């Protein structure tokens, strides 16, 4: 059923699927992308032999549209999502979607559903979910030769609410292999994180923290966000690993941290070192910046900064990032695009 705008409570949206009026769809056939357009139907019709149903050719993106104080709408670095989508497509042997068309289509979807962009100050945003699936029939393990690309939109609250420290547990499972698909935003990485996250929730944790899959010694990332820490010396550090997603929020915070004199660096971070961080957080589009209150490993809980309060460096980074996204502060050239 289509979402009625009058049924929305902007301050309590949660992070759930809703069926908005319009989405963008383009199909790939005969070796090329066909012209895309806005469509109303939220359903996809697939053959039982469709590649996606068997061998998992799926990639996706996540980005947000922000309602500014003056009522206009901002996107945050959408060309970065378009480019990562190309990299994901290449890793999954899928045809890249033209990057300029990706950004133009995102804007079309925002404009078509603009009454669903939550008001400024509600703490909510319009989340855009571009994705692509292999649709042609296969039986042997092979890439599809037909694909569907779509972008739908959903108004969402924060994935992890506000700046409240959360408790994480180090997972015994791996999310992605060392030279696997960890850098691609593809369904399989999330499928493999479901059982670990169910088990973490059952034990009362917000989510899992994954270690590098080769040595199980270094921090990799969370199920849906990258990790950062502030060392005792006040340096912003974030893992460098071939099995994690290259986060656009991470890239942005590395730049903001530099301006704030935090001497940021991407490098391996051992678990032992992480326990001694002055502050730590999860960063991503859905997560924004969410402080890590504690990390539990082999039954032992390590509190980082505080389980109740957010540290000053994390708070400052959060405020600066969000102010740029909403257009309250001017960010680096080209970060924000008006729709």
Residues with a known catalytic role = 185
Site for ligand COI (CB under 6 A): which residue of 224, 229, 239, 264? 224
Q: What count of Cα atoms within 13 Å lies in the side-chain half-sphere of residue 234?
A: 6
Length of the chain: 339
| Shortest CB 128 distance to ligand PLP, Å | 11
The footprint of ligand PLP on residues 246-275 (CB under 6 A) is 247-250
Label residue 83 exposed, middle or buried (CB < 10 Å: 0-12, 13-18, 19+). middle
Q: How many residues bind ligand COI (CB under 6 A)?
A: 6
Question: For residue 183, what are its two tokens?
Answer: 């850098």
Closest residue to ligand PLP, based on beta-carbon distance: 284
Label residue 146 exposed, middle or buried (CB < 10 Å: 0-12, 13-18, 19+). middle
Q: Is position 130 an interface residue for ligand COI (rule: CB under 6 A)?
A: no
Q: Is position 286 an interface residue for ligand COI (rule: CB under 6 A)?
A: yes
The footprint of ligand PLP on residues 204-243 (CB under 6 A) is 221, 224-226
Site for ligand COI (CB under 6 A): which residue of 183, 285, 290, 310? 285
Nearest to 17 by CA among 190, 155, 111, 188: 155
In this complex, which beta carbon is closest to ligand COI, that of residue 138 or of residue 156?
156
Q: Which does 248 bind (CB under 5 to 8 A by kind): ligand COI, ligand PLP, none?
A: ligand PLP
Q: Is position 284 an interface residue for ligand COI (rule: CB under 6 A)?
A: yes
Label residue 119 exposed, middle or buried (CB < 10 Å: 0-12, 13-18, 19+). exposed
In this complex, which beta carbon is closest to ligand COI, that of residue 64 or of residue 107?
64
| Shortest CB 105 distance to ligand COI, Å | 17
The footprint of ligand PLP on residues 314-333 (CB under 6 A) is none
In this complex, which beta carbon is closest to ligand PLP, that of residue 50 or of residue 153?
153
59 Cβ contact partners less than 8 Å away, ≥ 6 residues apart? 85, 88, 89, 92, 94, 131, 132, 184, 185, 186, 187
In this complex, which beta carbon is closest to ligand PLP, that of residue 50 or of residue 282?
282
Q: Is position 62 an interface residue for ligand PLP (rule: CB under 6 A)?
A: yes
Q: Is position 174 an interface residue for ligand PLP (rule: CB under 6 A)?
A: no
Question: For residue 218, what are its two tokens?
Answer: 């270094």
Q: Which does 247 bind (CB under 5 to 8 A by kind): ligand COI, ligand PLP, none?
A: ligand PLP
Question: For residue 194, what are its two tokens?
Answer: 């479901």
Quick one: CA dihedral 254, 255, 259, 263, positive or negative? Answer: positive
Q: How many residues bind ligand PLP (CB under 6 A)?
A: 12
Q: Which letter, b or e, does each residue of 256-275 get, where b requires 16 or more Cβ atoms within 10 Å of its Cβ?
A: bbeebebebebeebebeebb
In this complex, which beta carbon is closest to ligand COI, that of residue 161 or of residue 217?
161
User: Apex CA 206: angle with CA 205 and CA 208, to 5°?
Assistant: 80
Q: Is position 75 an interface residue for ligand PLP (rule: CB under 6 A)?
A: no
Per CB under 6 A, residues contacting ligand PLP are: 62, 221, 224-226, 245, 247-250, 284-285
Per CB under 6 A, residues contacting ligand COI are: 62, 159, 224, 284-286
């Amino acid at each position: 059923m289509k979402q009625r705008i009058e049924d929305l409570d902007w301050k309590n949206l949660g992070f759930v699927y809703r069926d908005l009026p319009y989405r963008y769809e383009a199909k790939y056939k005969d070796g090329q992308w066909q012209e895309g357009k806005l469509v109303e139907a939220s359903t996809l019709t697939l053959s039982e032999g469709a590649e996606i149903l068997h061998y998992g050719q799926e990639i996706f993106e996540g980005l947000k549209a922000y309602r500014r104080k003056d009522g206009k709408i901002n996107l945050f670095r959408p060309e970065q999502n378009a480019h990562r989508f190309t990299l994901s497509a290449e890793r999954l042997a899928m045809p890249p979607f033209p990057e300029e068309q990706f950004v133009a289509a995102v804007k079309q979807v925002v404009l078509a559903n603009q009454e669903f962009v939550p008001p400024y100050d509600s703490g909510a945003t319009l989340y855009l979910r571009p994705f692509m699936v292999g649709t042609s029939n296969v039986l042997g393990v092979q890439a599809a030769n037909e694909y569907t690309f779509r972008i739908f939109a959903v108004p969402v609250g924060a994935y992890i609410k506000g700046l409240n420290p959360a408790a994480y547990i180090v997972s015994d499972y791996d999310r992605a292999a060392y030279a696997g698909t960890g850098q691609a935003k593809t369904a399989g990485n999330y499928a493999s994180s479901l059982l670990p996250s169910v088990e973490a929730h059952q034990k009362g944790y917000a989510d899992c923290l994954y270690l590098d899959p080769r040595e199980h010694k270094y921090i990799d990332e969370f199920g849906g966000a990258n990790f950062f820490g502030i060392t005792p010396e006040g340096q912003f550090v974030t893992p460098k690993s071939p099995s994690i997603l290259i986060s656009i929020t991470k890239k942005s915070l590395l730049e903001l941290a530099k301006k704030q004199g935090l001497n940021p660096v991407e490098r391996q971070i051992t678990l032992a070192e992480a326990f001694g961080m002055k502050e730590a957080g999860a960063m991503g589009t859905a997560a924004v910046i969410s402080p890590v209150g504690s990390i539990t490993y082999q039954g032992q809980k390590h509190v980082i900064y505080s389980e109740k309060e957010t540290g000053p460096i994390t708070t400052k980074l959060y405020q600066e990032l969000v102010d740029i996204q909403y257009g309250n502060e001017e960010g680096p050239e080209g970060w924000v695009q008006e729709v």
